[in-house]
Chains A and B, each alone.
Chain A
Amino acid sequence: MLLPSTIILLGLTIFPFVFGLILGFTDFSLIRPQNGMRGVGLENYIEIFTTEEFWISFKTTIIFTFFAVTIQLILGTLMAVLLHHNSKTAPIMRALYLLPLAVTPVAATFSFRMMFNPSLGVFNFFLESTGFAPLAWLSKPDLALISLIIVDIWQWTPFIMLIVAGGLASLPNEPFESAKVDGASDIQIFFHHTLPLLKPYLALAVIFRIIDAFKTFDIIYVLTGGGPGISTRTLNLMAYRYGMEYLELGYAASFAIIMLLIIILFSQFFLRKTNIYKTKVARL
């Protein structure tokens, strides 16, 4: 019974991977298909690592991933804890909080694009009516990246909240009761008891989010398209441009392999560091 899914998965993962690996050592391009796949050795890789654009995109990707995931983690944990202590409203609220996760990202991003509009958008309207200066959300490089992070936070904070909520529900009661008897404040209890017990859940939520944020595409493509200039062009977008717009498939394939290596190295490092293999959640 394992066989059908194994064959399909092998066909759909290992085979493209090997093919992509080979492709990455060629200069195959759909602009000059008559040349076919000509081996160029490590040329693509050398070219990528020596282009400044790659390092700019790399930095953009790291900044985007770091800030988006960090804020999601804090906000998601806070909301999960608040809901946990307000069990009366929890069911309705949890259903509401779930909405951003389910809505088609492209549609949600379109809504944000209207709201970020400099002259007609609601965000600037709120800023102006509370006495702040309006912002050119999507046309200034730094602000455009912040706008993207805001959209990502909107969409994915509920994901962390859900996982943490699941973790909270499974925690034992005793340590909390005895801490309360000892006269610890709520905040002390949270940092000394709740947080350490939640660690495996948080680690899991964070690794999932980092992997996904690293390869975010739809939000960026629809909101800024990588612009202004190349200021919000992440690695994923850059690979897409080279592969699908300039049709340099060999070059793009080696680009994708580099991304794959980065994410594998990082997640191995992260999983080792946090030891979530050993805990029960690691059964995932």
Chain B
Amino acid sequence: MNSKFLVKKITSYLLILIFAVWCLFPIYWLLATSLKTNLQTNADPPMFIFKPIIDNYRLIIQDPDIWHVFFNSLIVASGTTFFSLVLGVPAAYVLAKFKFKGNSDYSFWILSTRMAPPIAMLIPFYVMYNNFGILDTHIGLILAHISLNLSLVVWIMRGFFEDMPKEIEESSYIDGASYLNTFYKISLPISRNGMVAVGILCFLFSWNEFLMALILTDDNAKTVPVGISKFVGYQLIKWAELAASAMFMIVPIFIFLVFFQKQLIKGLTMGAIR
């Protein structure tokens, strides 16, 4: 009995460990490649032990192209996050607090906007943007990203507002505060955690989104994923530099992961299970 228990324990630990290695390895390999010389990246067999150098990073931070792409992503992701929250949170509040006819239909419609393959929206977007002259602009891509993220904001925040105890708001009404006042002064501050989680998710999705950015932007407003994919095409031989630029561009995500790990897990799980 006891040895059987031990075997089970060891197997499960082993599986947990293997899966962790599997999850980490591609990221580790990207990091390792970025710290090699170009010659070392082409070594056969692949080098596991080498003296790490930061020359590749030194090289890429002098490249204005990389900063350009980086700031584009920063602008687009921040803009998307800001507008998605500003538009989505009040809508979520209404859906959570006021039961009206068609409430659930409306909610389902918002969710369904996420189901559509982006290409179905993108071709009309492309033609419209072409006519309005907002192809390859930050605002154009932000608008497209809002259409992706608004549904997420509404769904998650609705759950937060529904879970909020009624008494808190009722006492505010009794004190003579208006709906709007209660929303700003009471409900919003209480749901701060939820908004942080949702905000991080919006930022992440917008930062990582590829297809829309590929189609709707060009040299002026192209974002990180498009930048990386273009580099891959042009200079496939310079693996080390390419890996360094890829690492550099996912740095903001790692910062988010470190600082907001709890909120992120909460946000990701909340997004699915309410």
Report A's interface with B, CB cutoff 8 A. Answer: 1-2, 4-6, 8-9, 12-13, 15-17, 19-20, 23, 28, 75, 78-79, 82-83, 85-86, 89, 93-108, 110-115, 119-122, 125, 129, 154, 158-159, 162-163, 165-167, 170, 186, 201, 204-205, 208, 211, 214-215, 217-218, 221-222, 236, 239-240, 243-244, 249, 252-253, 255-257, 259-260, 263-264, 267, 281, 283-284
Contact = CB atoms under 8 A, between A and B. Distances in A.
B250 interface: yes
A23 B115 CA distance: 21
Given A82-B15, A86-B13, A115-B29, A204 B273 contact: yes
Given A23-B124, A162-B269, 19 more contacts: A2-B90, A6-B91, A8-B146, A9-B110, A15-B124, A20-B123, A86-B16, A102-B253, A102-B257, A105-B210, A106-B208, A108-B27, A114-B29, A120-B43, A129-B45, A159-B268, A204-B273, A221-B210, A256-B123
Nearest to A78: B15
B265 A162 contact: yes
Given A6-B91, A253-B123, A253-B124, A110 B16 contact: no
For chain A, what secondary structure do more than half of its interface residues adopt (helix, strand, loop), or is it mixed? helix
Contact of B118 (A5, A129, A215): A215
Contacts of A217: 118-119, 210-211
Contacts of B204: 102
Contact of B113 (A9, A158, A159, A201): A9
Given A12-B147, A17-B120, A93 B44 contact: no
A4 B89 CA distance: 11
8 contacts: A5-B91, A12-B146, A105-B208, A105-B210, A158-B23, A256-B123, A283-B159, A284-B272
A12 B2 CA distance: 61
Contacts of B210: 105-106, 217-218, 221
Interface in B113-127: 113-127
A211 B116 CA distance: 8
A249 B126 contact: yes
B150 interface: yes
B26 A221 contact: no
A104 B229 CA distance: 11
The 7 closest A-B pairs by CB, nearest first: A12-B147, A16-B124, A256-B120, A1-B90, A218-B210, A5-B91, A106-B225
Contacts of A16: 120-121, 124-125, 128
B80 interface: no
Given A99-B24, A106-B225, A240 B211 contact: yes
A261 to B, nearest CB: 10
A119 B162 CA distance: 56
Contact of B19 (A97, A205, A249): A97
Nearest to A207: B115
Given A5-B90, A106-B229, A284-B272, A120 B42 contact: yes
Q: Which of B43, B93, B208 has the most CB of A within 10 A?
A: B208
A162 B30 CA distance: 25
Nearest to B208: A104
A84 B30 CA distance: 30
B16 A12 contact: no
Interface in B19-77: 19-20, 22-24, 26-27, 29-30, 33, 41-46
B27 to A, nearest CB: 6
B20 A5 contact: no
B171 interface: no
A186 B12 CA distance: 13
Given A102-B264, A107-B249, A167-B273, A260 B120 contact: yes
B146 A163 contact: no
Contacts of A4: 87, 90-91
Contacts of B232: 110, 113, 222
Contacts of B256: 102
A284 B92 CA distance: 13
Contact of A5 (B88, B111, B126): B88
A6 B109 CA distance: 10
Interface string B178-222: 000001000000000000000000001001101100110000000
A189 to B, nearest CB: 13
Contacts of B164: none
Contacts of B125: 16
Contact of A110 (B94, B111, B242): B242
Q: Which of B8, B19, B111, B268 has the most CB of A within 10 A?
A: B19
Contacts of B95: 2
A283 B88 CA distance: 17
Contacts of B264: 98, 102
Q: Which of A1, A97, A99 has the most CB of B within 10 A?
A: A1
B160 interface: no
